[in-house]
Amino acid sequence: MAVASYDPLRGILLKVASVTVFVGMQSCIKLAGSDLPTGQITFYRSAFAIVPILLYLAWKGDLRHAFRTNNPFGHLKRGLIGVAAMTVGFYGLVLLPLPDAIAIGYAMPLLAVVFAAVFLRETVRVYRWSAVFVGLIGVSIISWPKLTLFGEQGFGSQAAVGACAVLLSAALGAAAMLQVRQLVREERTATIVLFFSLTASLLSAVSWFFGWQVLSWQSLGLMVMAGFFGGLGQILLTESYRFADVSTVAPFEYCSIILGSIIAFLLFDEVPTLTTVIGAVFVVGAGIFIIFREHQLGLERRAARKASTPQG
């Protein structure tokens, strides 16, 4: 298949489409019921995501090559971390209003910066550290009312447990991002995506021994849709980076808080609280600043490489 030409508008539209589909996935999970075991949710989300992924890889002609890997242990490690992140994230999702879960989940890229500095020894300068600090303040503003000890149940309340679960999911998701960075050095993107879905399906299937619920036809349909949306969202996200730079399309991730708030109001009669709105402004602003700073540094590195190239 020919290399895609640079088309920022198309890349942005694909990114927004991926965000919309992922919010649809989260909505299906909430509609399916808060009493479903999280292992069962993770299985359906992973297993039925394989269908659109396989179709996509076959269309690109990458299906045969996608099953080849030189690092099976790396894929297993990424799968273990990813499954843990999804499981606790889904648990928090069903306990929290959708906008709150989305906004707290924005902590993941911020924590990824911290983890990259600590574990990968990546250079993080004062600008990005400042943005991370501001972003985590925003996460604290959103989370603190749910974690306060002054409520009737304190840290044992449903909202507190949900907020802690989403925060833990963000931390695990950041760790998974670091593992993906290691894998992309020697593995194809198609291989990483496919092996994660396969590994996650197999690992989450083990939770059947701890008890799954018999799903109604409605819940079954919603869970199948959630899985399909998850795979489709990954495809749209991948395609968006074929037509535009990461720094161009990444800020549109924050459309999810708007879409999530609309869907939460229409389907679940949930309205974002003032602290959620204020905290989201902090987190979104910090995230966009980090993206902008990365774009600047990328331009500087390219200019330095061009200046150091001998001119003929």
Task: Tell the residue number behind the tokens 């708030």, with chain if given.
Answer: 261
Q: What angle do CA 19, 256, 200 make, to 5 degrees?
A: 55
Say if residues 112 and 178 touch (Cβ distance below 8 Å): yes
pLDDT (0 to 100) of residue 87: 92
**What mean pLDDT do residues 257-273 have?**
86
Question: Phi and psi of 280, rounded to 5°?
Answer: -65, -35
Two structure tokens written together for 175: 């760790």
pLDDT digits (tens, 9 = 90+) for 62-71: 888 888 888 8
Of 153, 187, 162, which is closest to residue 69 (Cα–Cα)? Answer: 187
Q: In Å, how far from its chain's centre is CA 2?
A: 28
The pLDDT, as a whole number, for residue 3 is 45
Angle, alpha carbons 183-5-23 (nearest 5°): 60
Lowest-pLDDT range, 125-134, 147-156, 201-210? 147-156
pTM of this structure: 0.81
CB atoms within 10 A of CB 71: 17
Alpha-carbon distance of 146 to 302, in angstroms, equals 45
**Which tokens is 167 given?**
């925060």
Tokens matching residue 267: 């389907």
Domains of the chain by residue range = 8-307
| In contact, 240 and 189? CB cutoff 8 Å | no
**What pLDDT was estimated at residue 88?**
94
